[in-house]
Structure 1
């Protein structure tokens, strides 16, 4: 069964781009869909769909946190607590041919 969640993170677009650069171009095993959007009140919102919660947790431990934690130490001098994940019930995923788009303006 797919695992989907929404997560609000207190970072800006330049910080997100640094995280993406640090993760590299190889998609993580189990990722179905990742969307990052700006929130009107500030920060970003992630909406993710994974094959399983275990695959996301493994990705976070092995690839995401080793990039994010040093970056946040550099930027704010601390590792803030992990933002909560809000589980979502997946009804349908419709992905167009151009779904593999990067950030607007990214080279």
Structure 2
């Protein structure tokens, strides 16, 4: 069962203020059907797995239990390999770094 923005807000409130170790960037966007699409960039698969085990899954499971949601499966994970990254939020490459 994909989640909507209201359920998402309940989940992230359980994380607290401490950043997830190893999380570089997280984006959650509403899709046309009202469900959310998540894109995360992690420093490593190990730090991602640790965050899911220690913080994310406990928050998700507690929220689902509170809302009486059962039989919810894990979302599909697609590992992507970066080909290009650019934009105003991305620092320009250091020209002296290769020198």
Alpha-carbon shift at residue 20 of structure 1 (Å): 1.3
Tell me what 1:104 maps to. Answer: none
In proportion to residue count, which structure has more strand? 1
SS in 2 for 1:23: coil
Tell me how far apart the structure 1 counterparts of residues 46 and 5 of structure 2 sit (CA, whole Å). 27
Deviation at 1:33, TM superposition (A): 0.6
Equivalent residues in 2 for 1:56-71, closer than 5 Å: 56-71=48-63
Conserved? CA contact 1:10–1:42, under 8 Å:
no
Task: Please list every run of 5 or more consecutive structure 2 residues that lacks an aligned counterpart in the other structure.
Answer: 91-99
1:71-105 C-alpha deviation (Å, 9 max, x unpaired): 112224315121110111223265739xxxxxxxx
Q: CA 1:93–1:21 in 2, change beyond 3 Å: closer, same or farther?
A: farther
Evaluate the alpha carbon distance shift between residue 20 and residue 58 of structure 1 in structure 2; reply closer, same or farther with a 3 A threshold: same
TM-score computed with the length of structure 1 as normaliser: 0.73
Larger RCO of the pair (alpha carbons < 8 Å, separation 6+): 1
Aligned residues: 89
Superposed CA RMSD in Å reads 2.0
